Chains A and B, each alone.
Chain A
Amino acid sequence: MPQSSVRPPDHDPHAPSLLVDQLSVSYNGTAALRDVSFRLPAGQRLAVVGPNGAGKTTLFNVIAGTKRPNAGTVRIFGHGPGGDTCIAYVPQRSLIDWGFPVTAAEVVMMGRVREIGLMRWPRRHDWEIVRGALDQVGLADLAGRSIGELSGGQQQRVLLAQALAQEAELILLDEPFTGLDFPSLEALFSILDELRAGGVTELIATHDLNLAAERFDAVMLVNRRLIAYGPPASVLTRANLVQAYGGHVHILPEGDGVLVLTDTCCEGDEAGV
């Protein structure tokens, strides 16, 4: 099994971190995404927003190279997905078996499995990276703890540390804010801020429109097709939201902004993986 084919030639420095062009995906003939195109410069944080079944998880799967599109292309730093391990995909927390008998450090080390290579064991260098990643997310003290004993916020940070250990430049996070209390949320954002400052590109699927409006460089509103893409203020407009969410959106005037409530909720019911 050749190892050398994993890392393609160096990234094209002039290419955007992510370029998606006329992407269409369907499952058994039903369209999950139709004709989606956008480009995302490196070091930006993008919120991917839309109702359940809008195709957010599908989009992530295609970008990560775990699902083939029916049409269109994805380019990551100028290369197709599937050739590179610089993409980390952090799935919804509910998809992980937290009863699995491994420690936080072992889960983080999993991010380095490809880098270490088949039939080899982690070296000291790898353990240093794992320790550094756990340190960066503030979990150095819990490295040896079983993952089942961690809180939801800590589990989310372990998954993020795994992406750090993978040395990913493009991180896809699926619903990372679901079920987190306010301190956990702030802890997560301070890590995300630090990563972004280091040039990491972040794509985050979320249902939280307030967070999307306040904490992101750009927002993508999607419901099987791209409804709007750009700075939060220009995307999260009444007209766009009604188009994306249909009757499930209520918009109340509040000062100079709008307070947005939606009926969509929760995790685990996106279109298949």
Chain B
Amino acid sequence: MNEWLAWLSEPFTFPFMVRGLAAALIVGVVCPVLGAYVVLRGMAFFGDALAHIILPGVVAAFLLGWPLVSGALIVGVAAALVIGAIGRRSAIKEDAAIGVVFAGCLALGIALLSARRGYAVDLTHILFGNLLGVSSADLALIAVLSTLALLAVFALYKEFLVLSFDPLLAATLRLPADRLQNLMLILMAVVIVVSIQAVGVALVLAMLVTPAAAASLLTRRLPVMMGVGAAIGAASAIVGLYLSYYTNLPSGPAIVLTATAMFFVALAVSRRGLLRRV
């Protein structure tokens, strides 16, 4: 019994592990709440693109010694608005617009970073996360931004619901559909930015999509889906951190692998998963 307690508590005798756990838990809870809309609206590609698009912002902030979040947020919001505008106003289809901005920003980010000596280590942190390097200031910012994102999703619940379920209804009800859509894109950018230190640019999509997708297999109610998704996300954060500590796996991939495993369990047990009778 005591050995178990010791096993469980040992990682958290280190302050950086406690901060890492706090950051991972916040990310694990917030991502699936917004991720529910990403899954239901088929915006996974957009989410992945947005995560890579913010790379130049992260790098610029890193080089200037700013909080990483600040640069990422500026670029992320700007890109979300640019993609939305291209999709709505030009003859280019939205996925092509996303692809162009996605690849261009990724290249720009890597080019910026390559100006530094020893950039490979920095790039690894940005691409795959550096949970154990989360400072107290980072953690405070993550907490504030996450709270704001959750409040927005809560306050505009029924508007986002209508927009996601039936955009035509949103239009005939004279809801400010474009502004709501832009706000949702901005919230995605915020949540992605918040997640980058935990799991990195390359794996953010997993936090946004995987727990929410698993939850969608287990319930037919949106609020429950958000709650179950958050629980899966939080559990992935905790289990993933232990996995990382005791097996020396990098923390980001460890968390994502845990979430992925939970997704496949959901897929296996759900009546709407692999067991479904056609």
B189 is an interface residue with CB less than 8 A from chain A: no
Q: Which among A83, A101, A103 is the interface contact of B216 at CB below 8 angstroms? A: A101
Report whether B174 and A118 are in contact in the complex, using a CB–CB cutoff of 8 Å: no
Residue in A closest to B173 when the chains form the complex, CB atoms? A114
CA distance A266 to B26 in the complex (A): 49
Contacting B at CB under 8 A, from A30-59, are none
Report whether B166 and A91 are in contact in the complex, using a CB–CB cutoff of 8 Å: yes
A116 is an interface residue with CB less than 8 A from chain B: yes
B162 is an interface residue with CB less than 8 A from chain A: yes
CA distance A91 to B40 in the complex (A): 19
Report whether B172 and A87 are in contact in the complex, using a CB–CB cutoff of 8 Å: yes
CA distance A96 to B171 in the complex (A): 15
CA distance A146 to B40 in the complex (A): 15
The 8 A CB mask of A79-103 against B (1 = contact, 0 = none) is 0001111011101000111001111
B residues less than 8 Å from A146 (CB atoms): 220-221
CA distance A114 to B175 in the complex (A): 7
The 8 A CB mask of A118-152 against B (1 = contact, 0 = none) is 11011000000000000000000000001010000
Q: Which among B159, B164, B216 is the interface contact of A113 at CB below 8 angstroms? A: B159
Report whether B156 and A102 are in contact in the complex, using a CB–CB cutoff of 8 Å: no
Report whether B220 and A113 are in contact in the complex, using a CB–CB cutoff of 8 Å: no
A154 is an interface residue with CB less than 8 A from chain B: no
B residues less than 8 Å from A97 (CB atoms): 40, 165
Residue in A closest to B176 when the chains form the complex, CB atoms? A1
A82-B174, A89-B172 given as contacts; is B156 within 8 A of A118 (CB)? yes
Report whether B173 and A166 are in contact in the complex, using a CB–CB cutoff of 8 Å: yes
B residues less than 8 Å from A84 (CB atoms): 174
Q: Which among B159, B169, B179, B224 is the interface contact of A89 at CB below 8 angstroms? A: B169
A residues less than 8 Å from B219 (CB atoms): 101
Report whether A100 and B169 are in contact in the complex, using a CB–CB cutoff of 8 Å: no
Q: Which among A91, A96, A102 is the interface contact of B221 at CB below 8 angstroms? A: A102
Residue in A closest to B180 when the chains form the complex, CB atoms? A118
A78 is an interface residue with CB less than 8 A from chain B: no
B34 is an interface residue with CB less than 8 A from chain A: no
CA distance A207 to B87 in the complex (A): 33
Smallest CB separation, B118 vs chain A (Å): 48
A66 is an interface residue with CB less than 8 A from chain B: yes
Report whether B220 and A148 are in contact in the complex, using a CB–CB cutoff of 8 Å: yes
Q: Which among B156, B174, B220 is the interface contact of A85 at CB below 8 angstroms? A: B174
CA distance A2 to B161 in the complex (A): 21
A residues less than 8 Å from B171 (CB atoms): 64-66
B residues less than 8 Å from A116 (CB atoms): 158
B residues less than 8 Å from A113 (CB atoms): 158-159, 161-162, 173, 175
A residues less than 8 Å from B168 (CB atoms): 64, 66, 89, 91, 95, 273
Smallest CB separation, B110 vs chain A (Å): 38
B residues less than 8 Å from A162 (CB atoms): 169
A107 is an interface residue with CB less than 8 A from chain B: yes
Q: A65-B171, A66-B172, A113-B158 are in contact. List 11 more A-B contacts (CB 8 A).
A: A64-B172, A65-B172, A65-B174, A85-B173, A89-B169, A100-B40, A101-B221, A101-B222, A102-B222, A106-B161, A114-B174
* CB-defined A-B contacts under 8 Å, sample of 7: A65-B172, A84-B174, A100-B40, A102-B221, A110-B165, A111-B169, A114-B174
Residues of A whose CB lies within 8 Å of any CB of B are: 1, 6, 64-66, 82-85, 87-89, 91, 95-97, 100-103, 106-107, 109-111, 113-114, 116, 118-119, 121-122, 146, 148, 162, 166, 273
